Amino acid sequence: MSQFKNEAVKAMVVLRKAFRSVDNYVSTTFKEDGLTTSQFAVLDLLNAKGPMTIGDLVKGALATSGNMTVVIKNMEKKGLGDASSLSQ
């Protein structure tokens, strides 16, 4: 059992490092376009699924409702839409 735990922990460490590497690369790419990862997630969700409620955006983007409110307000400031066009 302890060998299984050790292997699982090692796998998790490797996956976390890989995720951080990909996230850093993607974040840098989005920054060049003036977007955050969360803003891109919202745009991607809306493009794929059409109008969504804030609750659905929260679930789809794996965010919190407080964070999503800030993301949408910042997107409005950047001219990427208004609250009514970014959520229903």
Write the pLDDT tens digit of every residue in 10-60. 999 999 999 999 988 988 988 998 999 899 999 999 999 988 888 889 898
Decide: 52 and 88 in contact? Cβ < 8 Å.
yes
User: What residue has token string 């840098």?
Assistant: 28
Written as one string, the DSSP assignment of 49-66 is H-S--HHHHHHHHT--HH
Q: Which amino acid is at 65?
A: S
Decide: 18 and 41 in contact? Cβ < 8 Å.
no
pTM above 0.85, yes or no: no
Q: Rounded distance, CA 87 to CA 72, Å?
A: 8
pLDDT of residue 85: 65
Domain ranges of the chain: 1-33, 35-87
pLDDT of residue 13: 93
Written as one string, the DSSP assignment of 67-79 is HHHHHHHHHHHTT
Write the pLDDT tens digit of every residue in 61-85. 888 888 888 998 999 999 887 777 6
